[in-house]
Chain A
């Protein structure tokens, strides 16, 4: 790892100040960034650690939304009674990220800002129509995830909170890579008053994406059978040593049906 200057601001304003420096990078839980630095795939001159900024932590229910501070660790989301009661699918998702030690460090804001094509949280944000709140503005999930590791975030922008509308029903099903625990394919299905949203992670060459054909079919009838005949085009899906594009296309159907089945069974 190349050396860098390390900053640990106690408030958002100072963090934004440090971020002005040449080649400055934010560090949240560091569970992706530190391995990246170790491999010298990134060499920032300044690291700005967000862990002491209290305004970035905490979980609360605000009206019809669950609002989670960007620096909230995966283990905290998984253990939160507030989240469990409102969106159990989100608790389950957080509880399935990496392993217990990774969940004790990794944060929701870090995961969303990094937008790894195989990360879990982007699927939840997209399917639940979450709003990503930054120091500057509120960005709907549909406009936030731009591509492989790309988001709508500007260089001087920090995610402060993520707000999830509470759905009527939701479930997340992931087929984890047995070594990395990242999603080989993960499908988040959510139904609210406006309709059904289906988001897929792990499979898209440009990161997380929605499946409108499944959404339309599930709008008519929310049951696994409704999407039995929806074909997923392997074009644009990831093909690597873990699985071909065709395999992932097939898995999307399987995981989506399981997610709908699980969501349909949630008591509400």
Chain B
């Protein structure tokens, strides 16, 4: 069985995996990091978005063996020292979630968007940035508000994630 060695949320991890294991399955079932969700399993919904080498990817559409040597950050890797990441805090403040299922992917996508586009995001940029993330509760309105607020709150606090 192939062996993978990678960094997950700053910790070195080594494990044996079947070549066919998806990154999301590896994270959830082997590492027990169940914050990353499987929604559609067809690359559409974005509930499984994590960062690989600093870029948002759908972990249901990547093999664990493809992440060998990579730096992976999941939703569990955002909060530090018991304090929520500014983007998580913004979702809480702005009621950016209802059932919460899509939220980990929304937040990882949002942080990636801020890393690419900066801290002042207009509504259109945010909505286009969310093209690959589906929410079936909120109608997106408060998610967009949350991301605009979270982006501003991240000013000067941009992290490796």
Out of A3, A49, A99, A181, name the residue touching B20 (CB < 8 Å): A3
* Chain B, 24-82, CB within 8 A of any chain A CB: 41-44, 46, 49, 55-58, 61-63, 65-66, 68
* Chain A, 176-213, CB within 8 A of any chain B CB: 179-181
Chain B 112-124, CB-CB to A under 8 Å as 1, else 0, gives 1100100000000
B88 within 8 A of A: no
Docked Cα-Cα span, A6 to B18, in Å, equals 9
Out of B18, B19, B41, B55, name the residue touching A104 (CB < 8 Å): B55
Q: Is the CB of A101 within 8 A of B63?
A: no
Q: Is the CB of A75 within 8 A of B55?
A: yes
B146 within 8 A of A: no
Interfacial chain B residues near A3, Cβ < 8 Å: 18-20
B93 within 8 A of A: no
Q: Is the CB of B66 within 8 A of A30?
A: yes
* Chain A, 1-46, CB within 8 A of any chain B CB: 1-6, 8, 27, 30-31, 34-35, 37-38
Q: Is the CB of B58 within 8 A of A102?
A: yes
Interfacial chain A residues near B2, Cβ < 8 Å: 6
Out of A5, A31, A99, name the residue touching B19 (CB < 8 Å): A5
A51 within 8 A of B: yes
A146 within 8 A of B: no
Interfacial chain A residues near B109, Cβ < 8 Å: 100-101
Out of A4, A5, A104, A179, name the residue touching B57 (CB < 8 Å): A104
Out of A1, A8, A49, A98, name the residue touching B132 (CB < 8 Å): A98
B16 within 8 A of A: no
Out of A6, A31, A49, A100, name the residue touching B43 (CB < 8 Å): A31
Q: Is the CB of A30 within 8 A of B61?
A: yes
Out of B19, B44, B61, B116, name the residue touching A105 (CB < 8 Å): B61
Q: Is the CB of B62 within 8 A of A105?
A: yes
Q: Is the CB of B61 within 8 A of A6?
A: no
Instruction: Return A3 CB to nearest CB of chain B, in Å.
Output: 5
**Chain B residue nearest to A73 in the complex (CB):** B55
Docked Cα-Cα span, A51 to B18, in Å, equals 19
Interfacial chain A residues near B133, Cβ < 8 Å: 99
Interfacial chain B residues near A100, Cβ < 8 Å: 56, 109, 112-113, 116, 129, 131-132
A47 within 8 A of B: yes
Q: Is the CB of A37 within 8 A of B20?
A: yes
Residue picked from B49, B56, B129, most chain A C-beta under 10 Å = B56
**Chain A residue nearest to B2 in the complex (CB):** A6
The 8 closest A-B pairs by CB, nearest first: A99-B132, A6-B19, A99-B131, A104-B55, A1-B20, A3-B20, A101-B58, A101-B56
- Interfacial residues, chain A to chain B (CB-CB below 8 A): 1-6, 8, 27, 30-31, 34-35, 37-38, 47, 49, 51, 75, 98-102, 104-105, 179-181
A-B contact list, 22 entries, CB within 8 Å:
A3-B18, A3-B19, A3-B20, A4-B19, A4-B20, A30-B66, A34-B22, A34-B43, A35-B61, A49-B66, A75-B55, A98-B132, A99-B132, A100-B109, A101-B49, A101-B109, A101-B112, A101-B132, A102-B132, A105-B57, A105-B61, A180-B44
Supplied contacts A6-B19, A100-B116, 15 more A-B pairs, CB within 8 Å: A1-B20, A1-B22, A2-B20, A3-B19, A4-B19, A4-B20, A31-B43, A31-B61, A35-B43, A38-B42, A100-B131, A101-B109, A102-B61, A104-B57, A180-B44
